[in-house]
């Protein structure tokens, strides 16, 4: 082969002129096509920059925090009352109550490991809508009440609180003895 002057040779190393493999060429062409589309999309058509994308993602995280862990700033006894009184809203918490709360508070909220939720005695707060939402959301870590804020959406927590309130005073059989302070008229927010 070294006699063939078509090829360069140096120190016995011969340079050939083989065609590039088809798969390689196609990969190469595809990168060119990709680069073309990419350029059009991001430089001309105004696609989002990395900074924009970061901003959008951070915004989404903030939104998620707002709807699950943090209490929304507009939450008040009145806003909750409006929410809770929507037709069918309280019942919408029933399934979640059975699945997540009944094991500790009893099927009828009569109390088991956790306190009775339908008597007028409250350990945390005075049994207002805000109080109940808060204790469900934040839990009572050292007393065995799990925080549900990281697990449930605000809507779900509201539905649970509304369901508990809808059962107030039902006096279920086998009720656990009172725990906490008695509160008269606890839903009047006093």
Tell me if 158 contacts ligand HEC by CB under 6 A.
no
What is the C-alpha end-to-end distance of the chain, expressed in Å? 102
x/- binding map, residues 87-116, to ligand HEC, per CB under 6 A? Answer: -------------xx-xxx-------xxx-
Nearer to ligand HEC, 8 or 108 (CB): 108
Q: Which distant-in-sequence residues (6+ apart) come within 8 Å of 75 by Cβ?
A: 130, 133
Q: Rounded to the nearest whole angstrom, what is the least distance from the CB of residue 176 to ligand HEC in the complex?
A: 10
Report d(CA 116, CA 122) in Å as an integer: 9
Report d(CA 64, CA 16) in Å as an integer: 61
Q: Kindly identify the residues of this chain, within the stretch 17-36, that bind ligand HEC according to CB under 6 A.
A: none
Tell me if 123 contacts ligand HEC by CB under 6 A.
yes
Nearer to ligand HEC, 49 or 171 (CB): 171
Q: Rounded to the nearest whole angstrom, what is the least distance from the CB of residue 67 to ligand HEC in the complex?
A: 17
Tell me if 124 contacts ligand HEC by CB under 6 A.
yes
Nearest Cα to 71, choosing from 155, 182, 179? 155
Which window, 19-27, 39-47, 140-148, 170-178, contacts ligand HEC (CB under 6 A)? 140-148
As a dihedral over the C-alpha atoms of residue 129, residue 133, residue 135, residue 136, rounded to 10 degrees, the angle is 140
Nearer to ligand HEC, 14 or 95 (CB): 95
CA distances in angstroms from 122 to 60, 76, 151, 180, listed in the order given: 37, 19, 24, 5
Nearest Cα to 96, choosing from 150, 140, 143, 162? 162
Tell me if 69 contacts ligand HEC by CB under 6 A.
no
Which structure tokens are listed for 146? 């799990």
Nearer to ligand HEC, 79 or 180 (CB): 180
Q: How many residues at the interface with ligand HEC, by CB under 6 A?
A: 23
Tell me if 63 contacts ligand HEC by CB under 6 A.
no
CA angle (146 as vertex; 144, 150 as ends), nearest 5:
160
Tell me if 160 contacts ligand HEC by CB under 6 A.
yes
Q: Which residues are at the interface with ligand HEC (CB under 6 A)?
A: 100-101, 103-105, 113-115, 117, 122-124, 132, 135-136, 140, 143-146, 148, 160, 180
């Amino acid at each position: 082969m070294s006699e063939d002057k078509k090829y360069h040779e140096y120190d016995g190393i011969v340079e050939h002129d083989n065609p590039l493999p088809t798969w390689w060429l196609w990969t190469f062409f595809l990168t060119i096509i990709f680069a073309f589309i990419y350029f059009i999309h991001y430089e001309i058509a105004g696609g989002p920059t990395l900074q924009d994308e970061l901003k959008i993602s951070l915004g989404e995280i903030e939104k998620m925090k707002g709807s699950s862990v943090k209490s929304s700033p507009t939450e008040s006894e009145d806003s909750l009352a409006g929410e809770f009184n929507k037709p069918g809203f309280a019942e919408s918490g029933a399934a979640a109550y059975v699945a997540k709360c009944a094991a500790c508070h009893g099927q009828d909220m009569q109390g088991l490991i956790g306190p009775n939720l339908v008597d007028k005695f409250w350990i945390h707060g005075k049994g207002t809508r805000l109080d109940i939402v808060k204790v469900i959301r934040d839990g009572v870590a050292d007393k065995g009440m799990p925080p549900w804020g990281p697990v449930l959406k605000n809507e779900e927590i509201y539905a649970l609180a509304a369901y508990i309130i809808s059962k107030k005073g039902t006096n279920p059989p086998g009720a656990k003895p009172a725990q906490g302070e008695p509160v008269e008229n606890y839903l009047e927010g006093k």
